Chain A
Amino acid sequence: MDLSAINPVLLIASLMVAATPLLLAAIGELVVERAGVLNLGVEGMMIIGAIAGFAISVETTSPMLGLVAAMLAGAVLSLLFAFLTQFALANQVASGLALTLFGLGLSALMGQSYVGIKPPAMAKLDIPVLSDIPVLGPILFSHDPVLYLGIALTGAVYWFLKKSRGGLILRAVGESHDAAHALGYNVIRVRILAIMFGGACAGLGGAYISLIRVPQWTEGMTAGIGWIALALVVFASWKPWRVLLGAYLFGGINVLQLNLQAAGIAIPVEYLAMSPYLITILVLVIMSADKSGAPASLGRTFHASQ
């Protein structure tokens, strides 16, 4: 084993890359859950985003178009969930599962001809001057634009939920849909918009994996990141900045275990590979004691007649 082969600067830089898909998916799901909807289809929307983004950017040779397509694909798929839960009043847990099963199947079908292809590379946003600073430069100022977008999105969501009128309405809908309805707000419309935002974020997160992090297409490549994103929202007590913190923590664990695998540590590869999932469970256990942050109407079906 040679731990000195692990370069801390590269480690932190790749940690930020590993955390970004998680961050994007989780920040989207956070908004959905703050509106009182539990969408368990994150994994499905991510993988659809991953293949849609990959396919479009290979066909058009433009990674940017691919990212846009991924957001659209995620949002369109989430509309299926919105229809089931908001109009057909179906159980949210079952509908979310359906979304994931369907998304995994559909992505495998769409991706058949894209296995083994390299997507066009995304240019890094080397910020002049700043990226030349030793140590801090490569860690903070030499990444792809989506990574910065993820951080900006966290700030935007924080501002929206905390400071804007729209955010107030969204939170009201999530805390008590009956009261929000009585005040004259359109509960269904607010929720559908939130679900679509969540879908677009998950799609973007998926495309980040297939276009920037890996970059390649393999079947089922999201490998549970969508589910970890769901756990992350619980970890964060439904607060945006804590999602960012949690995503970096999980990204760090993942990068570290990959580095340890590469460094040839004595622990077998399989046990290292299961560590992110075990740590997710551990974190869920620790955070579950405090449910005060959970929106009161989370997972409940709304119908104006009731």
Chain B
Amino acid sequence: MIALEKRPTPSRALSLSTPLIAVIITMIMGGLLFSVLGKNPIEAIRTIFWDPVFGEFAFYYRPQLLVKAAPLVLIAIGLSLGFKAGIWNIGAEGQYIMGAICGAAVGLAFYPTESRLIFPLMIIAGALGGWAWGMIPALLKVRFGTNEILVSLMLVYVADQLLASMSLGLLRNPEGMGFPGSRNFSDFPAGSSWINEAAGLHWGMAFAFIAVIFSYILLNRHILGFNIRLTGEAPRAARFAGVNPTRLILFCLGTSGALAGLAGFFEVTGPSGQINIDFASGYGFTAIIVAFLGRLHPVGILLAALLMALTYVGGDLAQGNLGLPSAAIQVFQGMLLFFLLALDLLTNYRVVLKSKGAA
């Protein structure tokens, strides 16, 4: 009879290798899914995972990977802090939207002034917008004990409506001939997040790298990071050690909100270009998968975000070349999280064969 035996300590080797195994199983199952959809599975997998990096037009797709990965890294780094401490912010999508709205609004207020001071101001506004949206569930949780999962998620729908209202009202381009959407930031160099558009580099990537480094230092070299990990792994011990849960909740939700806000801000002033109804693209939810796939570890998140970006870029490619529906990629990403969670079992438990009745 198969039984599970808890390991004294989680297996390090398995903890590192399960994400890889999960990716491989997902590729196999994804291949099956694609063949059910009437596509050649090997060709589809090759188009998604190989062509954007090593294919004929890789020079075009490689910068695209960074463009897609940057917001995922920023959001997932923030989420990982909370997830480590058992604080579940699943409304990053809303914070992403609010960061974009606030940052863009400040920039558009200065249009068409050209000054070096505008962009830093916009960055601050974007981060503050996300931070404020993240602080709502945080404050409600510490003050009233409200469930942060539900509140942060409800706020996504609220932010979505605000986005629609902004792109049809306050922030609508006065010269846009009545079409919804704000001015395009490509016409406003002082407010654009591109460093070099031709090379596909924008400031969000720089900030994503900085976030990875800071989060690494925080978690490994700073008492706050230790407290976060302690609270997640042994809440009672954390209380005895004098960890202040209120401060931790405010810090984790605030930081993840600010980072998600930054991600939205860099997206709206760069790759996306304008505030519009369809600006929200689900990065806030995909980042949850990225955070888990990266084992809530900063470097892991960086790698996971690149992989997830690959599924986006490759998915687009497969949509164009093979007619693979875009929803198939979403299913693919969801499956990845399933297999990852299922395989986690092996990290913490050992599967043993027992003769019946011995226990």
Task: Give the contact stretch, choosing among B41-49, B95-103, B250-258, B324-332.
Answer: B324-332
Please determine whether B345 and A305 come into contact, CB atoms closer than 8 angstroms: no
Please determine whether B145 and A109 come into contact, CB atoms closer than 8 angstroms: no
CA distance A97 to B162 in the complex (A): 24
Please determine whether B325 and A112 come into contact, CB atoms closer than 8 angstroms: yes
Q: Which of A227, A280, A291 sits near B145, CB closer than 8 Å?
A: A291
Is there a chain A Cβ closer than 8 Å to B157's Cβ? yes
Q: In chain A, what residue has the closest Cβ to B342?
A: A88
Q: In chain B, what residue has the closest Cβ to A112?
A: B325
Please determine whether B161 and A102 come into contact, CB atoms closer than 8 angstroms: no
Is there a chain A Cβ closer than 8 Å to B303's Cβ? no
CA distance A174 to B15 in the complex (A): 31
| Contacting residues, chain B, for A280 (C-beta < 8 A) | 150, 154
Please determine whether B328 and A84 come into contact, CB atoms closer than 8 angstroms: no
In chain B, positions 284-333 with a C-beta closer than 8 Å to chain A are: 285, 288-289, 292, 325, 327-333
| Contacting residues, chain A, for B6 (C-beta < 8 A) | 303, 305-306
Is there a chain B Cβ closer than 8 Å to A156's Cβ? no
Q: Which of A40, A234, A277, A289 sits near B154, CB closer than 8 Å?
A: A277
Task: Give the contact stretch, choosing among A117-125, A165-173, A237-245, A265-273.
Answer: A265-273
State whether A305 and B327 are in contact (beta carbons under 8 Å apart), knowing that A89-B348, A273-B161 are contacts in the complex.
no
Is there a chain A Cβ closer than 8 Å to B65's Cβ? no
In chain A, positions 241-282 with a C-beta closer than 8 Å to chain B are: 268, 270-271, 273-274, 277-278, 280-281
Q: Which of A83, A102, A305 sits near B335, CB closer than 8 Å?
A: A102
Q: Which of A98, A224, A230 sits near B338, CB closer than 8 Å?
A: A98
Q: Which of A90, A105, A281, A288 sits near B333, CB closer than 8 Å?
A: A105
Please determine whether A274 and B169 come into contact, CB atoms closer than 8 angstroms: no
CA distance A63 to B353 in the complex (A): 48
Is there a chain A Cβ closer than 8 Å to B334's Cβ? yes
Q: Which of B146, B149, B292, B345 sits near A88, CB closer than 8 Å?
A: B345
Is there a chain A Cβ closer than 8 Å to B90's Cβ? yes
Please determine whether A270 and B162 come into contact, CB atoms closer than 8 angstroms: yes
CA distance A205 to B333 in the complex (A): 26
Please determine whether B161 and A231 come into contact, CB atoms closer than 8 angstroms: no
A30 CB to nearest B CB, Å: 15
| Contacting residues, chain B, for A103 (C-beta < 8 A) | 334
Please determine whether B145 and A288 come into contact, CB atoms closer than 8 angstroms: yes
Please determine whether B341 and A270 come into contact, CB atoms closer than 8 angstroms: no
CA distance A268 to B169 in the complex (A): 10
| Contacting residues, chain B, for A84 (C-beta < 8 A) | 338, 341-342
A-B pairs under 8 A by CB, number: 136
| Contacting residues, chain B, for A154 (C-beta < 8 A) | none
| Contacting residues, chain A, for B154 (C-beta < 8 A) | 224, 227-228, 231, 277-278, 280-281
| Contacting residues, chain B, for A288 (C-beta < 8 A) | 140, 144-147
Please determine whether A88 and B341 come into contact, CB atoms closer than 8 angstroms: yes
B245 CB to nearest A CB, Å: 16
Interface centre among A103, A231, A270 (most CB of B within 10 A): A270
Please determine whether A289 and B4 come into contact, CB atoms closer than 8 angstroms: no
Q: In chain A, what residue has the closest Cβ to B145?
A: A288
Q: In chain A, what residue has the closest Cβ to B5?
A: A305
Interface centre among B329, B332, B344 (most CB of A within 10 A): B344
Please determine whether A223 and B145 come into contact, CB atoms closer than 8 angstroms: no
In chain B, positions 229-259 with a C-beta closer than 8 Å to chain A are: none
Q: In chain B, what residue has the closest Cβ to A291?
A: B145
Please determine whether B155 and A281 come into contact, CB atoms closer than 8 angstroms: yes
Q: Which residues in A have some Cβ–Cβ distance to B below 8 Å? A: 40, 80, 83-84, 87-91, 93-95, 97-98, 101-106, 108-109, 112, 219, 223-224, 227-228, 230-231, 234, 268, 270-271, 273-274, 277-278, 280-281, 284-285, 288-289, 291, 303, 305-306
Q: Which residues in B have some Cβ–Cβ distance to A below 8 Å? A: 4-6, 37, 88, 90, 140, 144-147, 149-151, 153-155, 157-158, 161-162, 164-165, 168-169, 285, 288-289, 292, 325, 327-335, 337-338, 341-345, 348-349
Q: Can you list 29 pairs linking A and B with CB atoms under 8 Å apart? A: A88-B341, A88-B342, A90-B344, A101-B285, A102-B334, A102-B338, A106-B331, A109-B327, A112-B325, A112-B327, A223-B157, A227-B150, A231-B150, A234-B150, A270-B162, A270-B165, A270-B168, A273-B161, A277-B158, A281-B150, A284-B140, A284-B151, A285-B144, A285-B146, A288-B145, A303-B4, A303-B6, A305-B4, A306-B6
